[in-house]
Structure 1
Amino acid sequence: MNSLVTRGGLFDEFFKDIAPGFYVRPLHGDGVPAPSQIKVDVKETDGGYTVQAEVPGVPKEDIHVSIEGNVVSLRAEVRQHDQKTEGEKVLRSERYFGSVARSFQLPVDVDAAQAKAKYDNGVLTLTLPKKLGGSAQRLNIE
């Protein structure tokens, strides 16, 4: 059975209490994802893995990928550029400043020397070939 997840939190309740007429909801009705989350899709083929990670608004120079055996680690520095205009009053800011990171373990070691990374339109795509020689080999019985 799935439990229902409530959207919103203490910060949202604070705004409802302080200025109920000026409460600003997120555009799509969802809460802001936790800044520590990098959402990933991992797909496996016979030769390796393809990882797609969402890191929108981050320059590729601020994204760091490391591979150690079968552990892949992603880290990104998120920078918020606020522009203040005279006479403007910020009611709510949901943008995040800081670093986000994510590590995960794959079933087989990755050949780090052959791995490739591409960043396009907020999506980091990693092509991670499996390390050869790590698979089981059948022995002939004499």
Structure 2
Amino acid sequence: MSNISRYDPFSMESVPDLFHGLFRPLRATSSVNGQAASIRIDVTEDEAAFTVKAEMPGVDRKDIDVKIDGNLVSIAAKVERGGELKEGERVVRRERYAGSVSRAFTLAAEIDDEKASAQYKDGVLTLALPKRAASASKRIEIN
């Protein structure tokens, strides 16, 4: 037979479980030694375009992949750190991340991917993303 228990609507026992993780910061998808590996971005907008600046220090230009699909922008990169040790050396602590990182975000308007451009200099990827011209509304005749 099952045990019957009395429900107390004013009980505070389950409150910690309810808010578990609510105030904990969001985690990036990859981490090393507790340090989150992520791409930090700044996005600015004017009437004609968005400008995205992404910090990607130590990444080779050929290892960066940028994709645009409507108003979705995806940035991915493979981060490699030189692991060469001189003879007699040993690693005491390694905190620099090596692996892959990615970031995807949506913008308020669709991007004209034909006119979009990218530049990578001094560890900063700069994307110039012109907005797609709004199409004129078309009236449809009802038969």
TM-score of the aligned structures, taking structure 1 as reference length: 0.70
d(CA) in 1 for partners of 2:90 and 2:69?
Answer: 47
The unaligned stretches of length 5 or more in structure 1 are: 6-10, 12-30
Indicate yes or no: 2:119 matched with 1:107.
no
Partner SS, residue 90 of structure 1: coil
Indicate yes or no: 2:61 matched with 1:60.
yes
The list of structure 1 runs, each at least 4 consecutive aligned residues, that deviate by more than 6 angstroms after superposition, is none
Q: CA deviation at 1:109?
A: 0.2
Q: CA deviation at 1:98?
A: 1.2
d(CA) in 1 for partners of 2:90 and 2:127?
Answer: 41
Q: CA deviation at 1:128?
A: 0.3
Q: For residues 1-40 of structure 1, what are the alpha-carbon distances to aligned partners after superposition, in whole Å with 9 as ceiling and x for unaligned?
A: xx8x9xxxxx5xxxxxxxxxxxxxxxxxxx84x11x1000
Aligned residues: 109
Indicate yes or no: 2:110 matched with 1:92.
no
* Identity, % of aligned positions: 46
Aligned residue for 1:19?
A: none
d(CA) in 1 for partners of 2:90 and 2:101?
Answer: 28
Q: For residues 42-66 of structure 1, what are the alpha-carbon distances to aligned partners after superposition, in whole Å with 9 as ceiling and x for unaligned?
A: 0000001000001111111100000
d(CA) in 2 for partners of 1:79 and 1:88?
Answer: 20
d(CA) in 2 for partners of 1:97 and 1:118?
Answer: 23
Aligned residue for 2:10?
A: none
RMSD across aligned C-alpha pairs, in angstroms?
A: 2.1
Q: CA deviation at 1:89?
A: 2.4
d(CA) in 2 for partners of 1:61 and 1:89?
Answer: 30
Q: Highest CA radius of gyration, 1 or 2?
A: 2
Q: CA deviation at 1:87?
A: 1.8
Partner SS, residue 66 of structure 1: strand
d(CA) in 1 for partners of 2:58 and 2:121?
Answer: 11
Partner SS, residue 112 of structure 1: coil
Indicate yes or no: 2:128 matched with 1:127.
yes
Aligned residue for 1:27?
A: none
The unaligned stretches of length 5 or more in structure 2 are: 1-22, 26-32
TM-score of the aligned structures, taking structure 2 as reference length: 0.70
